[in-house]
Amino acid sequence: MIEIESKLLNAILIKLSNHGLTYREKSVAVLWIQGCDYRTISKKLFISEHTTRTIIKNIYKKLEVNSKIVLLMKILAE
């Protein structure tokens, strides 16, 4: 897992909020961006892997991206 500086993490959370993501979606997105896999995210947030996958699909749809790299690039470019 990649450690993200708290200042950068706060900026990412604000940018995610601007896209209408829910609290849960933002929680998953941050862990996803940090490099956690579905299983790790599921364990940390006490949700199923299926739910984690669905949330990530919803995040991609809301931000109009199709991969983690594009998601990160879009957030950092704003």
Q: Are 4 and 38 in contact (CB under 8 A)?
A: no
For the cut 90, the answer to whether the pLDDT of residue 61 exceeds it is yes
pTM score of the predicted model: 0.85
pLDDT digits (tens, 9 = 90+) for 11-23: 888 888 888 899 9
Q: What percent of the chain has pLDDT over 90?
A: 60
Query: Does residue 5 or residue 46 have the better pLDDT?
Result: 46
* Token pair listed for 52: 């984690």
For the cut 80, the answer to whether the pLDDT of residue 1 exceeds it is no
The DSSP element (H or E) to which 3 belongs, if any, is none
Query: Does residue 49 or residue 35 have the better pLDDT?
Result: 49
Which CATH code of 3.40.50.2000, 1.10.1200.10, 3.40.50.300, 1.10.10.10 fits the domain covering 24-77? 1.10.10.10
pLDDT-based confidence at residue 2 (cuts at 50, 70, 90) = low
